[in-house]
Copies of this chain bind each other. A is one copy, B any other.
Amino acid sequence: MERYDPHAFPPFAVTVDLAVLTVRGDTLQVLLVERGQDPYRGDWALPGGFLLPDESAESAARRELAEETGLSPATAAGLHLEQLRTYSDPGRDPRMRVVSVAFTALVPDPPEPRGGGDAARARWVPAAGTGPLAFDHVRILADAVERVAAKFEYTCVATAFCPPEFTLGELQQVYETVWGVALDRPNFRRKVLATPGFVEAVEGGPRRTGGRGKPAALHRAGPARSLHPPLLRPEGRHP
């Protein structure tokens, strides 16, 4: 930094890109928007945009998240948002040098697709096997999915995919979807309940989920953020 004239630095554009993930039914889905401008006009891409002059990447990401999901800023403020990594290869944007700070957002099921804000169109698609995406977004998406799957092992973020109150069956469904494996229900249940602060029981009547079967007890996300000992994927796969 010492040998540069502060007024002669090479200028870059800085953007944020968001991998907004949700679990719907038994598939992990990602929010994509259709690009309305060149380059990649008409292609699908991760939502994102330029940093404004006076905001941090985190602020920009949360602003974009609220715009693209169509949620109120108050609701969007509570969503789980986490920096993934920064992509800076020259040539990743054909127009100019763009450095992009990528984020992963985990949202509970029902935020309706809605082509909110400015994006031409927006939709949820399965995160595995999206077609080609604009820029290097296929790689960003792959990194995001792998990171989330890895984080499930030693953190409590899985509850970010669940509504405020959820059953242990729903939480297990989230794990099984993200990991793509079946888990033993009794063991999963014990493991979760044995971790202090992972989930908290909700007093009051249980509810039925799909109607059939015994009504399940409801739980809330607890204050814990990490899982000790971790909950490891059956066939330990770490790339």
| A residues with CB within 8 A of B | 1-4, 6, 9-15, 35-37, 48-58, 83, 85-86, 88-90, 95-97, 99, 101, 118-120, 154-155, 225-226, 228-230, 232, 236, 238-239
Contacts and interface: CB of A to CB of B under 8 A. Distances in A.
Given A9-B13, A99-B99, 6 more contacts: A10-B52, A11-B12, A56-B90, A85-B86, A86-B86, A230-B230
Contact residues of A: prevailing secondary structure: loop
Contacts of A12: 11-14, 51, 99
A50 B4 contact: yes
A3, A35, A54, A55: residue with the most chain B Cβ atoms closer than 10 Å: A3
A11 B118 CA distance: 22
A85 to B, nearest CB: 5
B232 A236 contact: no
Copies of the polypeptide in the assembly: 2
A14, A51, A83, A120: residue with the most chain B Cβ atoms closer than 10 Å: A14
Contacts of A120: 2
A56 B229 CA distance: 37
B3 A118 contact: yes
A90 B226 CA distance: 30
Contacts of A50: 1, 4, 9-10
A170 to B, nearest CB: 25
B35 A2 contact: yes
A120 B3 CA distance: 11
A49 B13 CA distance: 17
